[in-house]
Structure 1
Amino acid sequence: MIFRKNAEGMQTSSKSVVDRLVDNIIEAIITKEFKPGDKIPTESELSEMMGMSRNSVREAVKILAAYGILEVRRAEGTFVVSNYNDKMLNPMVYGIILSSRDQAGLIETRRIVDTGVLSTAIEKVTDREMKELEGSLHNLKSELLRERPSAERIFDADVAFHQSIMKLTQNDILNGIGIFVDRITKLSRIKTTENIIAMHRLEELYEMHKEIITVLRQKDLSKVSSVIADHYKYWIRVEK
């Protein structure tokens, strides 16, 4: 068994005992030794297999449960989760947060996500969904054209608009990444919106979003990159 084989090499690793066990269990899942829905060995069994204390095993299981990889069921045992859940993205998100001073990197990440999302949405959007998107655009327009526009209200309407497009991908992982990127970039996006308000460019911002709807309706993949790039010109200017 790969799990047992990996256990033999754990003594030479420079990582902590708990980190080594976490890595070992993940490797067993990757190699399909533990499959989605499988019950993994008990604490005492893992302790014996790995040659470590039950406390260390318990700590490793807690970490993997927090990551959404394992599920502890009382009176039943510990199981590999069967489906994707948002907690699986947390380790990556924490890393992004810790490096959040790299605004250019955050902008690039969201731009890449938006480009992929729009391309995928073009292939899947239906007429009914187009009407729903037009409703989201109308809500955004209402906020943009208020007599006294609020940057935070515009941000909320903008997020709702883009999340509506995100859902069209039918990809939970991509949707989860998009939501986290929205959270991480909230402050810079609100500042950008304040800047656009001060420059009296809200009508232009509306037209940018309207163009996204046009590209979706026409299913024009050739315009995706240019539409997304145009969407970011003020944000990039503010961050610089």
Structure 2
Amino acid sequence: MADPSPVSDGPYRPGYELVAEQLLEYIAERKLRPGDRLPTEAGLAEILGATRNVTREAVKVLAAIGRLSVRRGAGIFVAEASGGLVDDHFSHFRPTSMEDVLMLLDYRTVIESETARRAAGLATPIEVRTIREGASSSLTAAQQNDGHAFARADEAFHDAVGAASHNVFLRSSVAGVRRLASQSDVLLFHGDAPGSLEVAARQHLAIAEAVAAGEADLASELMVEHIATTQSQFERKIRDRLFNLGDRGAPARPTTDSGLGDSGLPPQTSVS
């Protein structure tokens, strides 16, 4: 495994985030599979060159986003797949790797553009209403700057489009991809949205109307544009995070400061 020590002149990053990233790399490099047992917290801290406290916070975060399973009295394990196709095939997805995230967005474009196309041709009146309700709720939440409400409405909208495709595998793939994307939101942005909530919400509304009108090609094109906007916002946020340090020019290194809230985890908001 590569030297876990961060570059001293890089931007500040919370210690738990660095160690979580290193721990995912450790799992991937050793080709560990769901159900495989990891060393103890103390053992991981020694392997990764981090403090015990920061290692504990990293394990908490990875358990919260579904990558690790901590069993009292038994140990730390690579989390079992929940059964979705994406979970089964991409258990080594690296949520802090730009390469992996861009591949995920590319895959999502393929899946969701086809899902939207099929929804436009197959959605029942009740399904159309559900899609519209999700889009409308996302706009209301965006205008109120309520990130948590937006995240719920966003999930409801995309799931409704998936359901309207009348293909359980497409719907499962959409849900699985979005679960992976949420891991990047937590580890890279600490739950802070990578782009404009209102822009995303208005794109939801346009997609909903295309589906309602039965315009399959337009629905597909609008979904592609929607995901491209998400990618652009994500890349811009990454650039800002890496190069626009402002007052946070301290060197990146694991410390006992976990950077987590009182609950032990950052709030999670996803723009998609």
Normalised by the size of structure 2, how large is the TM-score?
0.48
Tell me whether 1:235 sits opposite 2:264 in the alignment: no
**Counterpart residue number, 2:255:** none
* 2:95–2:181 Cα contact (<8 Å) kept: no
The one-character-per-residue Cα deviations of 1:66-101 (angstroms, maximum 9, x if unpaired) are 88xxxxxxxxxxxxxxxxx93565431314x25872
Judged with a 3 Å threshold, the aligned counterparts in structure 2 of structure 1 residues 189 and 228 are, in CA distance, closer, same or farther, namely farther
Q: Tell which has more relative contact order, 1 or 2 (C-alpha 8 A, sep 6+).
A: 2
Whose radius of gyration is greater, 1 or 2?
A: 1
**Counterpart residue number, 1:180:** 176
**Counterpart residue number, 1:117:** 115
**Counterpart residue number, 1:214:** 209
Judged with a 3 Å threshold, the aligned counterparts in structure 2 of structure 1 residues 222 and 151 are, in CA distance, closer, same or farther, namely same
The one-letter code matched in structure 1 to 2:108 is R
Judged with a 3 Å threshold, the aligned counterparts in structure 2 of structure 1 residues 135 and 225 are, in CA distance, closer, same or farther, namely closer
**Counterpart residue number, 1:194:** 193
Q: Alpha-carbon deviation of 1:228? A: 1.7
**Counterpart residue number, 1:92:** 89
Judged with a 3 Å threshold, the aligned counterparts in structure 2 of structure 1 residues 208 and 189 are, in CA distance, closer, same or farther, namely farther
Q: Which runs of 5+ in 1 are unaligned?
A: 1-65, 68-84
* 2:116–2:219 Cα contact (<8 Å) kept: yes
Runs of 4+ with deviation above 6 angstroms: none
**Counterpart residue number, 1:141:** 139
Alpha-carbon distance in 1 for matches of 2:195, 2:155: 17
* 1:145–1:203 Cα contact (<8 Å) kept: yes
Judged with a 3 Å threshold, the aligned counterparts in structure 2 of structure 1 residues 161 and 105 are, in CA distance, closer, same or farther, namely same
**Larger deviation, residues 128-137 vs 206-215:** 128-137
Judged with a 3 Å threshold, the aligned counterparts in structure 2 of structure 1 residues 193 and 235 are, in CA distance, closer, same or farther, namely farther
Alpha-carbon distance in 1 for matches of 2:154, 2:204: 9
**Counterpart residue number, 1:4:** none
Judged with a 3 Å threshold, the aligned counterparts in structure 2 of structure 1 residues 178 and 221 are, in CA distance, closer, same or farther, namely same
Alpha-carbon distance in 2 for matches of 1:181, 1:216: 22
**Counterpart residue number, 1:126:** 124
Q: Alpha-carbon deviation of 1:164? A: 0.8
Q: RMSD over aligned Cα, in angstroms?
A: 2.8
Q: Alpha-carbon deviation of 1:156? A: 2.4
Q: Which runs of 5+ in 2 are unaligned?
A: 1-79, 236-272
* 1:86–1:176 Cα contact (<8 Å) kept: no
Identity over aligned residues, as a percent? 15
* 1:136–1:161 Cα contact (<8 Å) kept: yes
Structure whose residues are more often helix by fraction: 1
Normalised by the size of structure 1, how large is the TM-score?
0.54
Q: Alpha-carbon deviation of 1:211? A: 0.6
Q: Alpha-carbon deviation of 1:216? A: 0.5
Q: Alpha-carbon deviation of 1:165? A: 0.9
* 1:103–1:239 Cα contact (<8 Å) kept: no
